[in-house]
Amino acid sequence: MEYHNRDFAQALLLSWSITTETLLRRYYCHGVSQRRLCSGVIIVMEYHNRDFTQALLLSWSITTETLLRRYYCHGVSQQRLYAGVIIVMEYHNRDFAQALLLSWSITTETLLRR
């Protein structure tokens, strides 16, 4: 948020079930373009965890099953995908990552056991 795209990150944190349409409607009012909103995800892809954030970009309501089916085809393991969540938890926003895990019906305890 501080160094890349504050508006995008703030909107993402506001709701775990936010849709692209809702995001754009809310931020077009403040003069934020679709390209700028999407660039928030792309920057995270470039510098943090490409596979995790690319999946997030593809769908705001993506399920674990869909994510794994899509990325197993590209040789991305389940462990590596979950590592993306851990990176977010450690370096960015623990509550956001935990809520994301819950939306996948995964508890932090389950993640750590795995």
Q: Which long-range contacts (CB under 8 A, 24 or more apart) does 56-63 make?
A: 60/17, 60/18, 60/19, 60/20, 60/23, 61/17, 61/19, 63/104
The total of structural domains in the chain comes to 1
- pLDDT tens sequence for the chain (114 residues): 333 455 555 555 454 344 545 555 555 444 444 444 444 443 443 444 455 555 555 544 444 445 445 544 445 455 555 555 544 444 445 555 555 555 555 555 555 555
- How high is the pLDDT of residue 9? 55
Structural domain boundaries enclosing 34: 6-113
Please tell me the distance from the alpha carbon of residue 76 to that of residue 27, in angstroms, as a whole number: 33
- How high is the pLDDT of residue 67? 46
pTM over 0.75: no
- How high is the pLDDT of residue 59? 42
- How high is the pLDDT of residue 46? 40
Give the H or E element holding residue 55: helix 50-58
- How high is the pLDDT of residue 1? 34
**CB distance 29 to 44 below 8 Å:** no
Q: Which residues contact 80 (CB under 8 A, 6 or more apart)?
A: 51
**Could you tell me if residue 1 is inside a domain?**
no
